[in-house]
Amino acid sequence: MSSTAEKIKDVEMEMARTQKNKATMAHLCLLKAKLAKLKREQIEASSGKGGGGGGEGFEVSKSGDCRVGMIGFPSVGKSTLLTKLTGTFSESAGYEFTTLTCIPGVIRYKGAKIQLLDLPGIIEGAKDGKGRGRQVIAVARTCNLILLVLDASKPMTHKKIIERELEGFGIRLNKSPPDITVKKKDRGGITMQTSVNQSQITIETLRTLATEYKIHNAEFILRCDATPDEIIDVIEGNRIYIPCIYVMNMIDKITIEELDILCKVPNYVMVAARQEWNLDELLEKIWDYLKLIRVYTKPKGQIPDYNEPVVLPNDTTSIEEFCNRLHKAILKQFKHALVWGSSVKHNPQKCGKEHKLADEDVIQIVKKI
């Protein structure tokens, strides 16, 4: 493991020494590919030894409709946030590393049950195994949303450090997977098709990256202005794309002028957990970023059950997936469904299992006789 870490350090130092221009682009791409491969080996080696997410306090079973993880440096108020949002007690104090294990709580909001995890504070070098960084980041990979908790009175370099640690573990914050397809072939070498002009990628760059990964025959289809890092991410295939909210805590320590500047930054929410300032906006932002929809069930001849909605992710909203969420046996007896709400033109409307539901729709399942 130490040899892998040393190799990573050597590659990073060589990248820092290399000037960035057209003549060195191919060499830099080769170094980036080597770095990505070494980091993958490091992650696989650590998970093989049980360092990827095991250990006391880290084997938290997934519960509720989705999972939100809080990440940040020690003593930025994560435990206080957990206590205020969920009612679950998490020890907090004026010294660092109060939380040493993963503590779960449940937020009940708009009928949904959102599991909130208070993860131990991470430090610079967490991705390389310092502290319990690898376990913390491995749990973060299983989350539907990350709350990156920061002390508003501390330098903004803290944000960059944590982002770099997560990037090193294959987590991409507030990014979408690049629209790139790689089709491996038996012959023909490396070819490239593009639908938009490429500012950073040339066929020589692609060949350099592909050769490093021992890909000799493949077609790269680029439907976006791709970067070398995005090509590497697609080849690696183990990247996780997670939405992130930057929670600026302890705003009572900064001036109104500083607060006005921070409020204009995208994906930021200003709170003071101890004083319970602006927690309503944080909850609303969490709901928006999770992109959940609520579907209410209606038994025949009765009013809809508005107290216990079925909560679905925004990308799995068909009636078939709704039935599977309730019980897989329902589909065997499924005839059609009656739907009320914004997803239909008429109320009620007879729909098949392929119909896509919208937020706050009401549904009644009609079974075969």
Nearest to 282 by CA among 122, 77, 135: 77
Q: What is the pLDDT of residue 77?
A: 87
Higher pLDDT, 52 or 205: 205
Q: Which of 144-148, 159-163, 293-297 is predicted least confidently?
A: 159-163
Q: Enter the pTM of the model.
A: 0.85
Is pLDDT at 339 greater than 50 in this prediction?
Answer: yes
Sign, CA torsion 219/225/230/232: positive
Non-local CB neighbours of 184 within 8 Å, separated by 6+ positions: 215, 217, 218
96 pLDDT higher than 70: no
Question: In this predicted structure, which of 11-15, 33-37, 132-136, 319-323 has the lowest mean pLDDT?
Answer: 132-136
**CB-CB contact of 126 with 45 (8 Å):** no
Predicted local distance difference test score (pLDDT) of residue 344: 94
Task: Find the mean pLDDT for residues 217-221.
Answer: 93
Q: What is the mean pLDDT of residues 291-302?
A: 93
Given this model, what pLDDT does residue 30 score? 86
Greater confidence (29 vs 134) lies with 29
**Residue 316 has what pLDDT?**
87
Most confident segment among 130-134, 172-176, 235-239: 172-176
> How many Cα atoms within 13 Å fall on the side-chain side of residue 172?
13
Separation between Cα atoms, residue 249 and residue 143, nearest integer Å: 21
User: How big is the chain by its Cα radius of gyration, in Å?
Assistant: 24
CB 42 within 8 A of CB 8: yes
Give mean pLDDT, residues 67-72. 93
62 confidence band (pLDDT: 50, 70, 90): confident
**Confidence check: pLDDT of 335 > 90:** yes
pLDDT score of 98 more than 60: no
